[in-house]
Structures are given as C-alpha cells and as structure tokens.
C-alpha cells in the first residue's frame, strides 16, 4: 500500500513510498529504495521523492538544494599535481582543481609552466651532479677502507702474498678518483675498480 506526503513532508497514512538516496558527504545519487513510512513520519535523511536526472558520461548526478544537477566526475581519470608531478587520486565529484592536470609529466624533472610540462634542465643537471658526487664518495670510502686494511697487514707483517700489489692498485685507483672532473656529470669516465 502506497502513501503520500502532506505539505509539511509527513506521511498522511501508513504505507510505502519510492525514494532516491544520496551520499550525505557530497549529495551524489547512490540508490533508490522503497521505504515504509508510518503516518506522521517524514522521509529518511538524505532521501528525496523526485527522480534524479538520467546518467551522463563523465558526470554524476548530485542533489543541490531542491534540484538534481550534473557534476563532473574525474574519479576514474589519471590526473597529476602541477606542483609535484605526482599522480593524484580524485575522491570526490566536481571540476578538477587548478593544480591538477590530466597531462602526465614525462620525466622527474618536468615542471608545469601553466599549460604544459617542460623539463627543468637545471634540476636535471643538479640531480645528475648529486648522483655522481654520491657515487664518487662511496667509491672513495671503499678505496680508503681497502688501503687501510692492506696497509695494516703490511705494517704488521701479516700481509698475504700479493698484498703489496693490491695496495698499490687501490692507491692508484684512489688517485684516479680524485682526479675526475666532476663539472660535467654525464661525461665522467670512472676508473676501473682494482681486480684484487
């Protein structure tokens, strides 16, 4: 048995009514249901009697005040922050914020210029320089440790046969590392590690 609502939104008799339900956070239409109302009771919260708009590609139907409206829906789209270049997950319907774009940066050094990604050559060069500097420091530490160990063995007369040649090779390697021109990170030719 069906019921109707009075001018104040209350059931005039016990019965069922067809309602359209929305998400309380954003007003997005989520379902329809048939609800039983006792006489004098109103609709469940976030439920409406009027039928929502039909589905539309790229949009969701939302309740705004007394009307159903279309809102852009980018929740399935891949979008990127124009500030960081990182992929961002859209969780709510609505237009894309100004700091997001569907355009994907092509390198970690791309910066947004307001309409497109462009490579920041200074940032790229700095990253390359930082990497080769860290690599050089790691290799210098390795050489220093090998030289110290071999020097101790020779000084304490605990050297194995060939340790003197190994020590010489590691010292030459350390000198070659220190002679590297670090100004152009892309063109560095690293000396070969000693075979020993």
Flag whether pLDDT at 95 surpasses 80.
yes
Cβ-based neighbours of 187, under 8 Å, separated by 6 or more: none
Flag whether pLDDT at 185 surpasses 80.
no
SS3 of residue 45 by DSSP? coil
What burial letters (b/e) apply to 172-195, b meaning 16+ CB within 10 Å?
ebbeebeeeeeeebeeeeeeeebe
Tell me what the pLDDT averaged over the chain comes to.
Answer: 95
For residue 50, the model assigns a pLDDT of 97
Are 47 and 35 contacting, i.e. CB atoms less than 8 angstroms apart?
Answer: yes
Domain ranges of the chain: 15-54, 74-119, 121-187
2-35 per-position pLDDT tens digit: 999 999 999 999 999 999 999 999 999 999 999 9
Are 49 and 6 contacting, i.e. CB atoms less than 8 angstroms apart?
Answer: no
């Amino acid at each position: 048995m069906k019921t109707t609502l009075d001018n104040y939104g209350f059931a005039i008799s016990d019965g069922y009514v067809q309602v359209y339900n929305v998400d309380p956070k954003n007003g997005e239409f989520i379902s329809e249901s048939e609800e039983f109302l006792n006489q004098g009771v109103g609709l469940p919260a976030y439920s409406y009697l009027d039928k929502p708009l039909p589905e539309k590609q790229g949009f969701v139907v939302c309740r705004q005040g007394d009307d159903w409206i279309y809102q852009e829906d980018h929740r399935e789209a891949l979008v990127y922050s124009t500030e960081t270049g990182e992929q961002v997950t859209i969780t709510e319907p609505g237009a894309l914020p100004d700091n997001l774009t569907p355009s994907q940066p092509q390198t970690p050094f791309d910066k947004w210029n307001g309409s497109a990604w462009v490579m920041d050559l200074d940032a790229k060069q700095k990253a390359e320089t930082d990497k080769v500097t860290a690599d050089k420091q790691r290799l210098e530490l390795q050489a220093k440790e090998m030289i110290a160990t071999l020097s101790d063995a020779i000084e304490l007369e605990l050297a194995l046969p060939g340790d003197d040649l190994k020590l010489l090779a590691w010292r030459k390697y350390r000198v070659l590392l220190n002679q590297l021109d670090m100004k152009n990170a892309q063109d560095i030719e690293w000396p070969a590690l000693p075979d020993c």
